């Protein structure tokens, strides 16, 4: 089959790889990928920020149809349309039961070894062997229309991740919320904040096309300024004190600083941007103003069922973050387009 | 009148100072101090960790009786028995209304200038001028028995601060809670955790007398180990994963590290230990395990009314943290006793 392989920085190839097969575990499934996409975090190896020592599969967001299942798989059936979160989980361990399936004791990641030593394909390919299929895959009931696919695909990562930022920050009815980052996750965080009842939603964005989408998703205000001016602009919109909740959806030192200082005393920062390079948090600044920080790698598997109905009904439209669709064979162009900011998020069709 | 003055590290004197007088603001009150105490944070200047450049008043925890009030004071009356929180606040600004009275826009601290330029005495003295008396002081209704005074005095700081750790960590019914720190605040955090419904409460303590008080307050387990062994011991008591909530009541790099690693994936650290020297928080470690950090300088004024009934009824007995009582004239011995860990917390009687 064909699958995407990263060979080095800026060297993305779609090439022939072995077809996946069911392992002897009895717990896995083979999924034919209907749609996959490129994540902002895929750009770190693409840009060489994280090194690529040897060629490896890449991609961790996909939806598809189950082609076969192991003998012990109970909930997922051949022919089911499924959403895969960006990680593997069993759904039954104590951490999964606590809502932190990204810390599953049997968990693993796409494009690498699962806990039993088998290989789980990357998501940007024609097929994927899915370990722990009952825990990992969410089944979408009934027939799935082609126009539903972009929205459902966002539940594999970006919509659930934006939701996690909002949940972690404790967004509730009547809150003021500032969102740092206007990538796909930041835009989905706006959807999540509105869905949870926020009434003032400030998108910190400098790009006209993303500002427009932010407004469509529920942003009530746009702030283009950054640093001290950005903090002042958020304060001006929030009675002089800062936002009740701030959603940090980037992961740099600058974005976290912007988030912490944009929160009001007693406010909370929900953070989901992968910390890039390890800036640490200024504990004294947090202490003096009672600004908390909560979040992390988003346990999106647990959010899929909650969000799926709103996606299918059209109540929320996260699929709008895809502004380019390409065949899988053009994966290299998908990376280049996102890297050069010609596209917010690219959908790939095998 | 007599008041405590710190002249330099380990140089605490009780000396004659000017009697306080009502300012022209109309909003202040003069309180005759009935009881005051020494805070763990008073030990930082005492030990020279924070420098004392010039002699200044010290002490920020006291209860007393109102002797006179300014013309515009409405809620506090001459003769009222009052509790002062460890800071001054107006009770009406947006931050106070948001429950963060430690960030009051008119706020100030004992032993320094208030926002109008007047002097607010330190708490360890015979009398105190209290700015913004209506916002700052909590009135204790009815006659106050002498045996009630230790418990009521803890509401000026340590009981409210321990409660803030528990509230910030989101402690609720059935939770497992680990408490890092066995000083007065840590011991009060145990009371708070039990009061909020925690069922497993792990006190991390190496001192037999404090362990005994921890158990009296509701600790179900004691862990003497620290570092990796401490983390392992907490995990052993919590199904192998760590505590749902961890209350950090010290403020050192080591104690915060202990707290972060003792929390389970998806857990929350409530922190109230004054960060000592600025260790920063490891954001990547927090991200990978979804461990949040929330808390800060505790807005105890807002907790006094909520906790007062339980203190007066005896449902909680935080006054037990006082294990030494001295006349004000022996303030220097009070500091020495706490510094040398001969006492957990010392009550001073003018």
Q: Per residue in B231-270, pLDDT tens?
A: 999 999 999 999 999 999 999 889 999 999 999 999 999 9
CA distance, residue B265 to nearest chain A CA (Å): 7
Cβ-based contacts of A292 with chain B (< 8 Å): 168, 292-295
CA distances from residue A33 to A24, A161, A235, B104 in whole angstroms, order as listed: 22, 21, 46, 56
Nearest CA-CA partner of A152 in A137, A133, A168, A174: A137
Please tell me which of the candidates A264, A284, A295 has its beta carbon nearest to residue B290: A295
Interface touch A94/B256, C-beta < 8 Å: no
pLDDT at B277 over 70: no
Least confident of A135-149, A278-292, B33-47, B292-306: A278-292
Q: Per residue in B287-322, pLDDT tens?
A: 999 999 999 999 999 999 999 999 999 999 999 999
The whole-angstrom separation of Cα B229 and Cα B28 is 52
Interface contacts (A, B; CB < 8 Å): 127
Buried b (16+ CB within 10 A) or exposed e, A10-38: eebebeebeebebbebebbbbbebbbbbb
Output the average pLDDT for chain A: 96
Please tell me which of the candidates A98, A278, A292 has its beta carbon nearest to residue B284: A278
Please tell me which of the candidates A103, A264, A279 has its beta carbon nearest to residue B265: A103
User: In this predicted structure, what is the pLDDT of residue A278?
Assistant: 59
Please tell me which of the candidates A239, A279, A284 has its beta carbon nearest to residue B275: A284
Nearest CA-CA partner of B30 in B135, B121, B102: B121
Q: Per residue in A17-63, pLDDT tens?
A: 999 999 989 999 999 999 999 999 899 999 998 899 999 999 999 99
Interface touch B281/A284, C-beta < 8 Å: no
Taking the domains of chain B in order of start, what are their residue ranges? Answer: 2-157+299-349, 161-295
Please tell me which of the candidates B264, B289, B294 has its beta carbon nearest to residue A292: B294
* Mean pLDDT, range B324-345, rounded to an integer: 96
Check if the beta carbon of residue B165 is closer than 8 Å to that of residue B272: yes
Residues whose CB falls within 8 Å of the CB of residue A281, separated by 6 or more in sequence, listed in order: A256, A260, A293, B280, B281, B283, B286, B293
A241 in reach of chain B (CB within 8 A): yes
Please tell me which of the candidates B94, B241, B274 has its beta carbon nearest to residue A241: B94
Candidates B283, B291, B300, B302: best to mutate against A (most CBs of A within 10 A) is B283
Residue A330 per-residue DSSP state: G
Which CATH architecture best describes the domain A159-295? 3-Layer(aba) Sandwich (3.40)
CA distance, residue B236 to nearest chain A CA (Å): 14
Q: DSSP 3-state assignment of A279?
A: coil
CA distances from residue A101 to A141, A152, A157, A288 in whole angstroms, order as listed: 22, 19, 13, 33
Q: Per residue in B44-77, pLDDT tens?
A: 999 998 899 999 999 999 999 999 999 999 999 9
CA distance, residue B294 to nearest chain A CA (Å): 4
Residues whose CB falls within 8 Å of the CB of residue A243, separated by 6 or more in sequence, listed in order: A176, A177, A178, A200, A202, A234, A262, A263, A264, A267
User: In this predicted structure, what is the pLDDT of residue A276?
Assistant: 76
Please tell me which of the candidates B103, B168, B275 has its beta carbon nearest to residue A283: B275
Please tell me which of the candidates A100, A239, A289 has its beta carbon nearest to residue B94: A239
Q: Per residue in B22-49, pLDDT tens?
A: 998 999 999 999 999 999 989 999 999 8
B266 in reach of chain A (CB within 8 A): yes
Interface touch A280/B283, C-beta < 8 Å: yes
Check if the beta carbon of residue B268 is closer than 8 Å to that of residue B245: yes
Q: Could you please report the per-residue DSSP string of A132-201?
A: SHHHH-EEE-S---GGGHHHHHHTTTHHHHHHHHHHHHT--TT-EEEEE--SHHHHHHHHHHHHTT-SEE
H-helix or E-strand containing B37? strand B29-37
Distance of CA B247 to the CA centre of its chain: 14
* Mean pLDDT, range A213-229, rounded to an integer: 98
Interface touch A293/B279, C-beta < 8 Å: no
Nearest CA-CA partner of B226 in B201, B247, B203: B203
Q: Per residue in B180-219, pLDDT tens?
A: 999 999 999 999 999 999 999 999 999 999 999 999 999 9
Q: Per residue in A232-245, pLDDT tens?
A: 999 999 999 999 99
| Angle made by CA atoms B40, B44, B48, in degrees to the nearest 5 | 150
Tokens of B166: 């528990």
Cβ-based contacts of A240 with chain B (< 8 Å): 94
H-helix or E-strand containing B29? strand B29-37
Q: Per residue in A160-191, pLDDT tens?
A: 999 999 999 999 999 999 999 999 999 999 99
Cβ-based contacts of A287 with chain B (< 8 Å): 271, 274-275, 295-297
H-helix or E-strand containing A326? strand A324-327
User: In this predicted structure, what is the pLDDT of residue A205?
Assistant: 96
* Mean pLDDT, range A211-219, rounded to an integer: 98
Fold of A2-157+299-349: Quinone Oxidoreductase; Chain A, domain 1 (3.90.180)
Q: Could you please report the per-residue DSSP string of A281-316?
A: B-HHHHHHHT-EEEE-S--THHHHHHHHHHHHHTSS
User: In this predicted structure, what is the pLDDT of residue B278?
Assistant: 59
The whole-angstrom separation of Cα B222 and Cα A78 is 52
Output the average pLDDT for chain B: 96
Q: Which residue from A minimizes the CA distance to B298?
A: A290
CA distance, residue B68 to nearest chain A CA (Å): 33
A277 in reach of chain B (CB within 8 A): no
H-helix or E-strand containing B325? strand B324-327
Interface of B with A in 61-120 (CB under 8 A): 94-95, 98-100, 102-103
Could you count the other beta carbons within 10 Å of the beta carbon of residue B222? 18
Domain B161-295, CATH 3.40.50.720 — does that match?
yes
Per-residue confidence at A274, pLDDT binned at 50, 70, 90?
confident
Cβ-based contacts of A99 with chain B (< 8 Å): 266
Per-residue confidence at A202, pLDDT binned at 50, 70, 90?
very high
The whole-angstrom separation of Cα A125 and Cα B175 is 43
Q: DSSP 3-state assignment of A40?
A: helix
| Angle made by CA atoms B205, B210, B212, in degrees to the nearest 5 | 105
Check if the beta carbon of residue A263 is closer than 8 Å to that of residue A270: no
Q: Per residue in B107-153, pLDDT tens?
A: 999 999 998 889 999 999 999 999 999 999 999 998 999 999 999 99
Interface of B with A in 287-326 (CB under 8 A): 287-297, 299
User: In this predicted structure, what is the pLDDT of residue A275?
Assistant: 84
Cβ-based contacts of A274 with chain B (< 8 Å): 287
Q: Which residue from B minimizes the CA distance to A240?
A: B94
Interface touch A287/B299, C-beta < 8 Å: no
Tokens of A31: 């999924």
């Amino acid at each position: 089959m064909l699958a995407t392989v990263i060979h080095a920085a800026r060297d993305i190839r779609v090439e022939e790889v072995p077809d996946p097969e069911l392992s002897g575990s009895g717990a896995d499934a083979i999924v034919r990928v209907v749609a996959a996409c490129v994540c902002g975090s895929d750009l770190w190896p693409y840009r060489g920020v994280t090194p690529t020592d040897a060629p490896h599969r890449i991609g961790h967001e996909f939806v598809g149809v189950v082609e076969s299942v192991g003998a012990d798989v109970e909930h997922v059936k051949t022919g089911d349309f499924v959403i895969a979160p960006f990680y593997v989980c069993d759904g039954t361990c104590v951490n999964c039961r606590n809502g932190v399936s990204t810390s599953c004791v049997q968990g693993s990641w796409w494009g690498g070894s699962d806990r039993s030593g088998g290989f789980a394909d990357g998501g940007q390919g024609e097929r994927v062997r899915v370990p722990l299929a009952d825990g990992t895959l969410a089944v979408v009931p009934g027939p799935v229309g082609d126009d539903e696919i972009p929205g459902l695909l966002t539940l594999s990562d970006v919509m659930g991740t934006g939701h996690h930022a909002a949940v972690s920050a404790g967004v509730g009815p009547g809150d003021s919320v500032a969102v740092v980052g206007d990538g796909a996750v930041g835009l989905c965080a706006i959807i999540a904040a509105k869905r949870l009842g926020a009434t003032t939603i400030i998108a910190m964005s400098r790009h006209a096309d993303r500002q427009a989408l932010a407004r469509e998703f529920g942003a009530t205000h746009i702030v283009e300024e950054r640093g001290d001016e950005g903090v002042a602009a958020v304060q001006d919109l929030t009675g002089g004190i800062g936002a009740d909740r701030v959603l940090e959806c980037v992961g740099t030192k600058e974005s976290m600083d912007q988030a912490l200082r944009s929160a009001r005393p007693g406010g909370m920062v929900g953070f989901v941007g992968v910390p890039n390079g390890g800036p640490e948090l200024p504990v004294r600044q947090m202490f003096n103003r009672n600004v908390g920080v909560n979040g992390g790698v988003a346990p999106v598997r647990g959010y899929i069922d909650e969000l799926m109905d709103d996606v299918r009904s059209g109540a929320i439209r996260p699929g709008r973050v895809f502004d380019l669709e390409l065949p899988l064979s053009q994966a290299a162009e998908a990376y280049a387009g996102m890297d050069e900011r010609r596209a917010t998020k690219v959908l790939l069709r095998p």
